[in-house]
A and B are shown apart, each in its own frame.
Chain A
Amino acid sequence: MSGLISQVPDPAPSAGAGWLATLRHEAAAYLHARGFPGKKHEAWRFTSVREIVETTFAPEPAERAAPAALDALGDDGTWRVAIAAGRPWLDGAGAAPDGVTVESLADALARDPAALEGQLGAGVAAQDFAALNAALFTDGLVVRIRAGADVTTPLHVVHVATPGEAPRAAYPRVLVLAEPGSRACVVESFVAAPGGSARHLTNVVTEVAVGANAHLEHVRVTEGTDRTVQLASLGVRLARDARYASRVVTLGGALSRLDLFVRFEGAGAEALLDGVYHVDGQDHVDHHVRVDHVAGHGTSRTRYRGLADGRGHAVFDAIGVVHRGAAGSAVHQENRNLLLSDAATVHTKPHLEIDEDDVAASHGATVGALDEAQLFYLRARAVPLSEARSILTFAFARAVLDGIGHAPLVARTSEALLSRLPEGAALRGGLSA
């Protein structure tokens, strides 16, 4: 047996297994029985994982992340903890802000496994690559924002991938529990350390539970390289009157796939799901967003903007489901794409499944080029063509970036995007401020 499946232990149930062993066992059994998804699976039609599935990845050696990768992020006024090789490196992080406890997942499970029962595995079903993570994760983070806490410092989890000379993989798992009435901002960044020539797989699952009346902003920034493969799942559960704002920024990657699941479990909750993605070269970026309105009177607004350049592929797929009984739900989906080259491809599928009549649902998708009239306007003011294109491209994405609630993060993500655009460096001073 070779390839990714060879890493998955045989699903022999261990005697007297607890809930965690059952979860792992079921995930392994699922993978051995079903295998990994291929192009015949609707959710994987435009994203081939064959090459990845056939690769045998060695676990990343447990080494502290290269400081260079963290330094590159600069000082963005966040409280930071790094995850490398699938485990957190909390010793350098200092004390967490008031009202927050951050613990290694392995420690939390060793200390009191019952406390996480019903939380771990509840946000993301163990299917496809989430099953791989469930079977293989060894560590990660538990972030708990205590009831009623108002945390002003963003909590920043930096996932650092360190590619080697042979394919490596890491399987971190993050659990964010925002207790009732709390307010916080969680940031997840995915960066790669320089060096290494082989593929690096980050197979990450993040589960978020937003308690009643809690507010959580969740920023997720991926800076991919031609060596990084990210197969990520993010599951969010919303209790009554919870507010959740997601800002996803995905900048390239050999393959960056995110499956985002949002479930309205309590009435009156609200989810704003914003995203922006950029592909260039041979990048392949794929976002799948599924929103389930199980409880009524919830509002979800999905708004993604895409930029496709070079020979890049961008895939966007959103499903909004209003279950029977979820009366008063509002579901809106929007996906707008700019095609910037002749060889780039965009696939988009915003899609609605409505089983309740008391709803307001809409979706829209556009794919087009930069507006010639706008280009002309800038050129008539002596802006060179390629600079004019970058200005308009950046402005298109900026609408989403500006939504991030923490100014230094807006600046950092803007910088990261600008550095990928032609002439972007020249625009930095004037535009990112």
Chain B
Amino acid sequence: MTAPQDIEGILAKRYDAGFVTDIEQDTAPPGLDEGTIRMISGKKEEPSWLLDWRLEAFARWRRMREPRWAKVEYPAIDYQAISYYSAPKQKPKLESLDEVDPKLLETYAKLGIPLHEQKLLAGVAVDAVFDSVSVATTFKAKLGEAGVIFCSISEAVREHPELVRRYLGSVVPTTDNFFAALNSAVFTDGSFVYVPKGVRCPMELSTYFRINASNTGQFERTLIVADEGSYVSYLEGCTAPMRDENQLHAAVVELVALADAEIKYSTVQNWYPGDENGVGGIYNFVTKRGRCAGARSKIAWTQVETGSAITWKYPSCILEGEGSVGEFYSVALSNHYQQADTGTKMIHVGPNTRSTIVSKGISAGHGQQTYRGGVTIARGATGARNHTQCDSLLIGNSCGAHTIPYVDVQNRTAQVEHEATTSRIGEDQLFYCRARGLSEEDAVGLIVNGFCKEVLNELPMEFAVEAQKLLGISLEGAVG
């Protein structure tokens, strides 16, 4: 067994991305009313249709009640105490990366994002969102050659209004749920991707989200449209400073895949989880949904969730096109006092649609982990097929793991299978590793990585490495 002082040392280990960037911020005063929305819309020089859309969402939000069905507990959120807009102060227009505030670039460098052009070799086009605004998008020219549009959503509203207007809210309507309605009203920035017909996006696209300012919420909105026969792989990473108050993150991600298109969306979520006593951390209330609108289209969600004090997130697929495919691969880890209620929904509408769900949950410390998934086979989804596998691993006897799958089938030709297991790390597995000279910590790391392998294999390589490291760090202190 690990000596007690080792464990204490490890427990004291800090969240690596928890620094604060001292940068001049342009932050709106806390509070939310129609004026706030008009202010955000005004700052972004938005057209009137978008302002109306936001105001309508706000009106609906005010009539909605915060959902309480998830298996998470948190004190009531005061939506009037949050600032809905915060941006680094800088020159209004940027010509090249050289003009980005060096302090900002330093932040991203600390986070290991290949933002700078000298890191061209990394070959990932990055859109970085700092608090509320998108600060830089790299590789624009190269993507432009292929006809791929990758920019911040505010820019897309200005430059490609017809696309944005056509698809914004088409997958997650403003009235979808409480947090989606809030996001629709106050979203500040996010990424927009459009891949034209038949184009295979020449590189992986990536967005890095960072919450810096205190008392702010981040409400980004991502919209990805893959036109017929196109392909895009999109990565999303998130961090936030360590603060002892809770910060709200309520994002919306919408994906649209037309006929024969494929979207691969990967997330490594490492928002600040709060300290070992459960103080602070991000409330992550996110709505992510993809629509396989065309025949043979495919959407794959892969997520590694190690951060946030509370995660409430169900990346879903609406499988409308004939023969379309939805996939969901997830690793969620909750240590200390983290709570995660996460899963997916696969809604089979079209014939011969297929979906796969692989979910791995790990609970340690006082962590609470819930897998909540839904598989719906509509009357017309002839020949639909789903396979779900969700496994939970418990480390220590103060944590919890819960599995809540909903299966609703209305078509007899459908085949739906769900399996799940819950267990702790096998004593014999641990003993085997320990007998071969591995420390307990390393043995647990090895076993956990093996447990998650099916999911980690789905991640693009550089993300898989990062995810593996993150799992290791997040688990430290969980053994003993």
Q: Tell whether B422 is near chain A: CB-to-CB under 8 Å.
A: yes
A352 touches B418 (CB 8 A): no
Task: Specify which of A337, A361, A366 is in contact with B422 (CB 8 Å cutoff).
Answer: A361
With A355-B400, A367-B415 in contact, is A349–B406 under 8 Å at CB? yes
Task: Specify which of A341, A363, A367 is in contact with B403 (CB 8 Å cutoff).
Answer: A363
A349 touches B405 (CB 8 A): yes
Interface residues of A in 327-374 (CB under 8 A from B): 327, 337, 339-342, 344-369
- The contact size tier of chain A is 35 or more
Q: Tell whether B401 is near chain A: CB-to-CB under 8 Å.
A: yes
Q: Mark B405-447, 1 if CB is under 8 A from A, else 0.
A: 1111111111111111111100000000000000000000000
A364 touches B400 (CB 8 A): no
A369 touches B422 (CB 8 A): no
Q: Mark B252-274, 1 if CB is under 8 A from A, else 0.
A: 00000000000000000000000
Task: Specify which of A357, A362, A368 is in contact with B394 (CB 8 Å cutoff).
Answer: A357
Residues of A within 8 A of B421 (CB): 361-362
Chain A residue nearest to B386 (CB atoms) is A367
With A42-B69, A349-B406, A351-B402 in contact, is A362–B412 under 8 Å at CB? no
The dominant DSSP class at the A interface is strand
Residues of B within 8 A of A345 (CB): 408-410
A363 touches B415 (CB 8 A): no
A368 touches B420 (CB 8 A): no
Chain B residue nearest to A359 (CB atoms) is B422
Residues of B within 8 A of A355 (CB): 399-400
Q: Tell whether A324 is near chain B: CB-to-CB under 8 Å.
A: yes
Q: Tell whether B395 is near chain A: CB-to-CB under 8 Å.
A: yes
A360 touches B417 (CB 8 A): no
A350 touches B405 (CB 8 A): yes
Bound form: Cα–Cα A351–B408 in Å: 14
Q: Tell whether B396 is near chain A: CB-to-CB under 8 Å.
A: yes
* Max chain A Cβ within 10 angstroms of own Cβ: one of B398, B416, B422: B422
Q: Tell whether B392 is near chain A: CB-to-CB under 8 Å.
A: yes
Bound form: Cα–Cα A42–B69 in Å: 9
With A364-B420, A367-B409 in contact, is A357–B395 under 8 Å at CB? yes
Task: Specify which of A342, A350, A361, A364 is in contact with B423 (CB 8 Å cutoff).
Answer: A361
A364 touches B422 (CB 8 A): no
Bound form: Cα–Cα A365–B390 in Å: 12
The minimal Cβ–Cβ distance linking A392 to chain B, given in whole angstroms, is 13
Residues of B within 8 A of A344 (CB): 410, 412
Q: Tell whether B109 is near chain A: CB-to-CB under 8 Å.
A: no
Chain A residue nearest to B385 (CB atoms) is A368
B400 touches A351 (CB 8 A): no
Residues of B within 8 A of A350 (CB): 405, 418, 420
Residues of B within 8 A of A367 (CB): 377, 407, 409, 414-416
Q: Tell whether B48 is near chain A: CB-to-CB under 8 Å.
A: no
With A354-B400, A354-B401, A354-B422 in contact, is A347–B407 under 8 Å at CB? yes
The minimal Cβ–Cβ distance linking A358 to chain B, given in whole angstroms, is 6
The minimal Cβ–Cβ distance linking B336 to chain A, given in whole angstroms, is 16
With A354-B402, A361-B421, A366-B417 in contact, is A347–B408 under 8 Å at CB? yes
Q: Tell whether B120 is near chain A: CB-to-CB under 8 Å.
A: no
The dominant DSSP class at the B interface is strand
A349 touches B394 (CB 8 A): no
A337 touches B423 (CB 8 A): no
The minimal Cβ–Cβ distance linking A393 to chain B, given in whole angstroms, is 12
Residues of B within 8 A of A349 (CB): 404-407
A346 touches B418 (CB 8 A): no
Residues of B within 8 A of A46 (CB): 408
The minimal Cβ–Cβ distance linking A56 to chain B, given in whole angstroms, is 33
With A350-B405, A353-B402, A354-B400 in contact, is A339–B412 under 8 Å at CB? yes
A365 touches B423 (CB 8 A): no
Interface residues of A in 364-392 (CB under 8 A from B): 364-369
Residues of B within 8 A of A365 (CB): 405, 407, 416-418
Interface residues of B in 365-394 (CB under 8 A from A): 377, 379, 392, 394
The minimal Cβ–Cβ distance linking B466 to chain A, given in whole angstroms, is 28
Bound form: Cα–Cα A346–B406 in Å: 11
B412 touches A364 (CB 8 A): no
B409 touches A339 (CB 8 A): yes
* Max chain B Cβ within 10 angstroms of own Cβ: one of A350, A354, A360, A364: A354
A352 touches B422 (CB 8 A): yes
The minimal Cβ–Cβ distance linking B73 to chain A, given in whole angstroms, is 14
Bound form: Cα–Cα A359–B411 in Å: 36
Q: Tell whether B2 is near chain A: CB-to-CB under 8 Å.
A: no
Chain A residue nearest to B419 (CB atoms) is A364
Chain B residue nearest to A342 (CB atoms) is B412
Bound form: Cα–Cα A345–B421 in Å: 26
Bound form: Cα–Cα A53–B416 in Å: 34
A359 touches B417 (CB 8 A): no
Residues of A within 8 A of B396 (CB): 357
B409 touches A337 (CB 8 A): yes
Residues of A within 8 A of B403 (CB): 351-352, 363
Bound form: Cα–Cα A46–B397 in Å: 35
Chain B residue nearest to A361 (CB atoms) is B422
The minimal Cβ–Cβ distance linking B47 to chain A, given in whole angstroms, is 39
Q: Which 8 A-B pairs give the minimum distances between C-beta atoms?
A: A339-B412, A357-B394, A361-B422, A357-B424, A367-B409, A365-B418, A368-B415, A367-B416
Give 12 A-B pairs besides A340-B412, A357-B397 with Cβ atoms closer than 8 angstroms.
A344-B410, A345-B409, A347-B409, A352-B420, A353-B402, A354-B401, A358-B397, A359-B423, A359-B424, A360-B422, A367-B407, A369-B412
A-binding residues in B (CB < 8 A)? 69, 377, 379, 392, 394-424
Q: List 21 A-B contacts (CB under 8 A).
A: A324-B397, A337-B409, A339-B411, A346-B407, A346-B408, A347-B407, A347-B409, A348-B407, A349-B404, A352-B402, A354-B422, A355-B400, A360-B422, A361-B421, A362-B422, A363-B418, A363-B419, A366-B416, A367-B414, A367-B416, A369-B413
